[in-house]
Chains A and B, each alone.
Chain A
Amino acid sequence: MEDGELAALAQAGDREAFGELVHRYAAPARRLTRAVLRNDADADDAAQDGFLAALRTIGRYDPTRPFGPWLMRIVANAAADRRRRRRVRETEALTPSLASPAASPDEEAHREGLRSALREALATLPERQRLAIVFFDVEGYSHAEIAEVLGVPAGTVRSDVFHARRALRPALEAWRNRTEEAT
């Protein structure tokens, strides 16, 4: 079933349809809020806020347009709201939930090195650049879709993606060099 059909059912009070939409968009929504908040608990709270806000305003969704960008705009706003309210907690470290339990100690150390380098570099970016690069390079949204989500011109999105990549790639390269030196 298409997103628009599910949205119409959810608007009519069909909880299963709403659950299916949450299931489809849980992962990108949680990634988006993690990019903004950098604290897992706050990020999940913000993602939930976003889904609930979307349910309350689902009557305003235009089914002729893609559902994902409409939802992600609401989730991004929810994350920004929570960041403003919980600015103090933003400095807390990410919980180590990204670790794979099946990884060996060496593999885990390797992954943690990459995560740490990227996390630090990501933290230096302005919020809009962080969102732009996550939408573009992780979620595969087009510049036009990201522009709609962020409420800025497409040219601004291109610029944000460019600057974000320029800031993150050295971190990736430094981590790679450290890895090669170690081996």
Chain B
Amino acid sequence: MNDRSAFDHRPDPELGPALRALLTAEDDAAFVSRVVEAAALQESGRWWEVLGSWAAPGFAAALVLAAVSAWFAVTAGANGDSPLGDPLAAASEAAAVPAYLISADVPDVDAVMTALFEDQ
């Protein structure tokens, strides 16, 4: 045993080599080959990971879209019309025609003619 202090700020010339002998593994070349092969696999695997990361949300979005479309189709089939109605029709027009149909009074001719021609 040497008389070096444990405080010594230089590598220990006896303990260092002993630890090196204890911890050094054989066949670094085989290890290097193994790591390089694993790295190549890792690199090729990344493409699949990227595609996979795109595929999952894309598939989920497609499922949601298909489900919503199916719901609209089923609902429209049951009512015979689109559940959203005609977005281009004015609210006043939609209300005016039923008013003529349900009224007990004789409608004003000018008003009926105006409604008919406007529809055309």
Contact surface of A with B, Cβ cutoff 8 Å: 13, 15, 18-19, 22-23, 26-27, 30-31, 34-35, 40, 43-44, 47-48, 51-52, 55-56, 97-98, 111, 114-115, 118-119, 122, 133-134, 136-138, 140, 143, 158, 161-163, 165-166, 168-169, 172-173, 176
Contact = CB atoms under 8 A, between A and B. Distances in A.
Nearest to A31: B23
Contact of A172 (B7, B14, B35): B14
Interface in B3-59: 6-7, 9, 11-12, 14-16, 18-26, 28, 31-32, 34-36, 38-40, 42-43
Given A19-B36, A51-B35, A165-B6, A119 B22 contact: yes
A47 B23 CA distance: 13
B1 interface: yes
Nearest to B31: A26
How would you classify the secondary structure of chain B's contact residues: helix, strand, loop or mixed?
helix
Nearest to A35: B23
Interface residues of B, number: 29
B9 A158 contact: yes
B23 A134 contact: yes
B21 A137 contact: no
Nearest to A101: B26
A55 B28 CA distance: 19
A178 B111 CA distance: 122
Given A118-B19, A140-B11, A40 B25 contact: yes
